[in-house]
Chain A
Amino acid sequence: SAVISQKPSRDICQRGTSLTIQCQVDSQVTMMFWYRQQPGQSLTLIATANQGSEATYESGFVIDKFPISRPNLTFSTLTVSNMSPEDSSIYLCSVAADEQYFGPGTRLTVT
């Protein structure tokens, strides 16, 4: 199993600023993912965080807007840059171990 923690759990940010979300896993995992879930919607994969190399981004998401770090096998960060109200969402970290686990999420509101 894997236990995932995320910081912060929620934040309210001003337009044009950036927020870095941290994801910590209690065990070493190869695959870490970042998802976005807008209110009442499904989950959309932003990128796969690769240890030791650049993240792999899905269509519609770019590194300049969502830079990701993965310094080791238990930790990753996602930065939401130059935020606008459209970035208001829940951001979820996920890992693939024996099954797929999700963190508790970071609820971001951009005003």
Chain B
Amino acid sequence: GQQVMQIPQYQHVQEGEDFTTYCNSSTTLSNIQWYKQRPGGHPVFLIQLVKSGEVKKQKRLTFQFGEAKKNSSLHITATQTTDVGTYFCAGTKYSGYSTLTFGKGTMLLVSP
């Protein structure tokens, strides 16, 4: 079955440092989504990437989808304490409504 791997599992940075999490799928994806889950909270949708090589930015967050549509990354520039949480990628194999396969997530801790 489809597998989505995500690294690192955990990262602790000082406020102001950059952070990147990487996601790799065992199969070609139709699209990839990113979620953020704060401690004690539920996953919140951040973005969806659909096109090969797509890059999207949300303020300090940059999302990339690989040319082969099998990998993706989320980069945060100059982290802030509000960035603390677990970041999950989730891929779908087919277009349209399709079930999501989640990566294991990267837990980000930011020290002031």
Residues of B within 8 A of A45 (CB): 99-101
B15 to chain A, nearest CB (A): 24
B106 to chain A, nearest CB (A): 11
**A-B contact number at CB 8 A:** 38
Residues of A within 8 A of B104 (CB): 41-42
Is B44 in contact with chain A by the CB < 8 A criterion?
A: yes
Chain A contact residues: over half helix, strand or loop, or mixed?
Answer: strand
Is B48 in contact with chain A by the CB < 8 A criterion?
A: yes
Is B112 in contact with chain A by the CB < 8 A criterion?
A: no
Stretch at the interface among A19-27, A64-72, A73-81, A97-105: A97-105
Report Cα–Cα, A27/B64, bound state, in Å. 32
Is A58 in contact with chain B by the CB < 8 A criterion?
A: yes
Is B22 in contact with chain A by the CB < 8 A criterion?
A: no
Q: Mark B33-44, 1 if CB is under 8 A from A, else 0.
A: 100000001111
A42 in contact with B45 (CB, 8 Å): no
B102 in contact with A42 (CB, 8 Å): yes
**Which residues of A78-111 are within 8 A (CB) of B?**
92, 96, 99-105
Q: Mark B20-40, 1 if CB is under 8 A from A, else 0.
A: 000000000000010000000
Residues of B within 8 A of A100 (CB): 33, 45, 100
Going nearest first, the 8 A-B pairs with the smallest beta carbon separation are A102-B42, A99-B45, A42-B104, A43-B102, A42-B102, A102-B43, A31-B97, A105-B42
